[in-house]
């Protein structure tokens, strides 16, 4: 007859008692931990990520645009650049949004306003009006035409003799440039009359004296 599982169990009563005591101790510890609340040890799931951190917007006003962008991007900010015409140095930071010293979240958007030089009226004096007008329109200007001083002949009627504002003047696109072209003086056509020119009248005859004394 094979061994009986009940006989084997009864053969080790002390071992069963130890197992039961250990199980009870584990159960008691689990209950105690549950009553004490969650563990105070921080978990990776609840720790703050770098993107949740905040940064102070630095003062980059007056800096070169490239340097200012590097500073802001190193802080984790997303940089956008706007251009503005200025009479000051080219490529300098004129303004910053958010304002300097503002506490913002990392990955926030920062807008740099950067200076660019005013465009200047190109030199169109001496060009034919149509060519001059095309060049100005390509530069973003509006064009008007006026007739100025008179000139002899008609070969220069389409040539620009002046611009207002003057060539080289800083002027924002969208403004109007007035071009002056000359007017012509009519030239009298040559005479087509075939009649000979009038001849001068003959001189009167000389009168000699009739006195016999001569």
Domain boundaries, the chain: 50-117, 129-185
Output Rg (C-alpha) for the chain, integer angstroms: 51
How do beta strands 103-105 and 54-56 pair? antiparallel
Q: How confident is the model at residue 88 (pLDDT cuts 50, 70, 90)?
A: confident
Does residue 184 contact residue 150 with C-beta atoms inside 8 Å?
yes
Phi, psi of 178, rounded to the nearest 5 degrees: -100, 125
Phi, psi of 6, rounded to the nearest 5 degrees: -70, -40
Q: Residue 52 has what pLDDT?
A: 61
**DSSP letter, residue 50:** G
Q: How confident is the model at residue 1 (pLDDT cuts 50, 70, 90)?
A: very low
Question: CA-CA-CA-CA torsion for 22, 28, 30, 32, nearest 10 degrees?
Answer: -150
Q: What is the pLDDT of residues 34-59, one digit of tens each?
A: 555 555 544 444 444 555 689 999 99
Q: Residue 87 has what pLDDT?
A: 85
Q: Which is nearest to 177 in space by CA: 212, 153, 214, 145? A: 145
Q: What is the pTM of this model?
A: 0.51
Q: 151 versus 49: which is more confidently predicted?
A: 151
Q: Which two tokens stand for residue 58?
A: 């630095």
Q: Which is nearest to 121 in space by CA: 164, 151, 184, 69? A: 164
Does residue 38 contact residue 79 with C-beta atoms inside 8 Å?
no
Give the H or E element holding residue 147. strand 142-152
CATH of range 129-185; options 3.40.50.1980, 3.40.50.11540, 3.60.15.10, 3.30.10.20: 3.30.10.20
Q: What is the chain's mean pLDDT, rounded?
A: 78
Q: Residue 158 has what pLDDT?
A: 85
Q: Which of 95-109, 148-162, 182-196 has the highest mean pLDDT?
A: 95-109
The answer to whether domain 50-117 and domain 129-185 are alike in fold is: yes
Q: How confident is the model at residue 5 (pLDDT cuts 50, 70, 90)?
A: very low
Q: Which two tokens stand for residue 166?
A: 């003057």
CATH architecture, domain defined by 50-117? 2-Layer Sandwich (3.30)
Q: Residue 123 has what pLDDT?
A: 95
């Amino acid at each position: 007859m094979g061994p009986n599982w009940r006989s084997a169990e009864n053969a080790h009563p002390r071992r069963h008692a130890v197992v039961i005591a250990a199980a009870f101790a584990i159960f008691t510890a689990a209950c105690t931990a549950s009553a004490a609340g969650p563990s105070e040890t921080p978990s990776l799931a609840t720790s703050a990520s770098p993107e949740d951190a905040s940064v102070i917007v630095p003062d980059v006003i007056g800096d070169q645009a490239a340097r200012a962008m590097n500073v802001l991007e190193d802080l984790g900010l997303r940089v956008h650049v706007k251009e503005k015409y200025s009479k000051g140095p080219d490529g300098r930071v004129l303004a910053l949004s958010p304002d300097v010293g503002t506490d913002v979240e990392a990955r926030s958007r920062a807008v740099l306003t950067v200076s660019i030089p005013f465009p200047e009226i190109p030199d169109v004096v001496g060009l034919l009006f149509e060519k001059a007008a095309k060049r100005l329109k390509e530069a973003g200007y509006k064009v008007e035409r006026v007739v100025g001083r008179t000139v002899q002949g008609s070969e220069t009627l389409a040539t620009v003799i002046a611009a207002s504002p003057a060539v080289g003047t800083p002027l924002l696109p969208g403004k109007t440039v007035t071009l002056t072209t000359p007017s012509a003086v009519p030239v009298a056509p040559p005479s087509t009359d075939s009649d000979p020119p009038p001849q001068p009248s003959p001189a009167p005859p000389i009168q000699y004296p009739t006195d016999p004394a001569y």
